[in-house]
Amino acid sequence: MRLAARVLLLLVALSVASLLAAYHRAPTAMLLAIGLALVVTIGLWRLISESNAELTRFVAALDRADLSQSFTLSGRGAGFDRLGAAYERALARLREERTRGAVAATFASALADGAPTPLLVLGPGDALTLANKAARRQFGRNSPTVVAALDQYGEAFVDLLRSATPGPSRLGQIVVDGLSQRVVTDTTLIELDGDARRIVAVKIIQAELDSAELAAQIDLVRVLTHEIMNSLTPVTSLAATAKQLLDALDATDHQAIGDAQLAVGALARRAGELERFVETYKGFSEAPILRREPIDIADWLTRTAAIHAATPNITMPITLDIMPALPRLNGDVALLTQVLLNLLKNASEATAATQTPTIALTAELKPHDRIRIAVTDNGPGIPPHLSREVFLPFFTTKPRGSGIGLSFARQIVLLHGGQIEAGNGLPSRIEMVLPTIIE
């Protein structure tokens, strides 16, 4: 209405001025009409400028992403009211979309940051970003920013990351706390700012593999011992009965009777030995219940070394190298002591034939609040191809070994949430890594 009134008034003023000028009459009135036309033109210009100013302010707010502006233009005509209302609706919609986007981004960020699997962002080039808390806990000790900085986790792991491509999960090796472990990676390819980036999920699955393998071994031993005992029990009983019957006869009456007595006696003894052997493995097939308690590592290792030194026929000293101020272990001290005594016994037997036998027991704190305990000796060592087989049930390299000591040790360490590994080459070394109590 304001615009229409001004346009109409301008037309009237111009028309009057034109008529008066055409007939050369009333010059004063003509000047007044021209003046009125100028005033109306200035009013029109101001009206259009106001509208342009509001439009400019709206576009500037969008350009700066400033959604806090207000465009309530009441009192200046219906056109300005509608214009302001349209601007307000547009900004309200943008505010709502921004809020939804911020909530979605916050949720996605929290979801990724709280994921238990480490996420690495690779690219552009060799650049590396630790994308969540799990990645920073696992790889953030030296704040690596390039893939090459992860060489402490093994060359095989670095090569696995560099060759990561979208597709099926890939299995590889990673060195953590000095122990080689199996790792699986999954890769997603994204494009950001025109550069390709790879999001690699890294999951160390050694604990799951060890648990599954141990469960399979226990099931196998349980089945074997059950079946062997079912077959061996009647053999033992019949052998004992046959021996009693033959012992009641006079061996001097016939030479064959004496030979039979010797054979049946040997059979009865061997059946008894097999029965005791199977009974031993029955204990392995039943996982012990842990009675956890805080363990002072220095005191525990010192006492265990003293117990080993007091064992008959043990003469070689043990060198203790224990890092000071270690946190306490959370474990079953009786079972862990038995594990350590088995390892020290094996080391003593391995070095018995050496001229100057040496055994070292070391303990040190590793990253992620884990304790590394190692038994090292100068014996012949474990061949590299047997470094994993020595922990299997029934497997032994000793002429009279039962093949249960290291199997038992591995079972106890895994139950504590740790790992155990035999070192390759010389000096001979078996080390275990156990979680501590976070203090």
Distance CA 390, CA 387 (A): 6
pLDDT tens string 87-107: 777 778 887 887 888 888 788
Q: Check: CB of residue 198 under 8 Å from CB of residue 121.
A: yes
The DSSP string of 153-180 is G-HHHHHHHHT--SSS-EEEEEEETTEE
User: Is the C-alpha dihedral spanning 290, 296, 298, 302 positive or negative?
Assistant: negative
Q: Copy the structure tokens of residue 160.
A: 């696995």
- The answer to whether the beta carbons of residues 164 and 185 sit under 8 Å apart is yes
Q: What is the mean pLDDT of each run of 10 residues along the chain (439 residues)?
A: 76 80 75 80 78 73 68 58 72 81 80 85 87 86 83 88 88 83 89 83 83 69 60 64 66 62 63 60 64 89 86 78 88 87 86 83 85 86 75 66 72 84 70 68
Counts for the chain of helices (H) and strands (E), in that order? 10, 12
Angle subtended at Cα 401 by Cα 347 and Cα 408, rounded to the nearest 5 degrees: 70
Nearest alpha carbon to residue 413 among 430, 397, 427: 430
Contact predicate 304/375, CB 8 Å: no
At residue 438, the pLDDT reads: 46
| pLDDT score for 439 | 43
pLDDT at 201: 92
Q: Strand 119-122 vs strand 195-204: parallel, antiparallel, or unpaired?
A: antiparallel
Query: What is the per-residue pLDDT for 289?
Result: 77
Structure confidence at residue 245 (pLDDT): 62
Instruction: Quick: pLDDT tens for 136-188.
Output: 888 877 778 888 888 888 889 989 998 888 888 888 888 887 778 889 999 99
